[in-house]
Amino acid sequence: MAKSTTKKTGGFEESLKRLEEIVETLEQGSVSLDEAMKMYEEGVVLSKQCLEKLTQAELKLKRLSKDVNGNFELFDEELDQQD
């Protein structure tokens, strides 16, 4: 039986691993239609969570910049918005 617990607080790797398990199970076609629909819905939620986490990481990386001495500096979002 498929795991039906999707945690909003789960880490990216955990969510991605579960998503991969769902895809593999669905590709095998070894579950009932009802179970496949539940797994599909869980997969959609997980994929949205993964995308959100990747987007947040991308934004954080975009805010990193090197200063004159070659050191990385994290810029404050509020300061970036004023420019």
Mean pLDDT of the chain: 81
Distance in angstroms (rounded) separating the CA atoms of residues 38 and 31: 10
Percent of the chain with pLDDT over 90: 54
Encode pLDDT of 16-47 as tens digits.
Answer: 999 999 999 999 999 999 999 999 999 999 99
- Parallel, antiparallel, or unpaired: how do β-strands 64-66 and 72-74 relate? antiparallel
Beta bridge partners of residue 65, listed in sequence order: 73
pLDDT of residue 6: 44
pLDDT of residue 63: 74
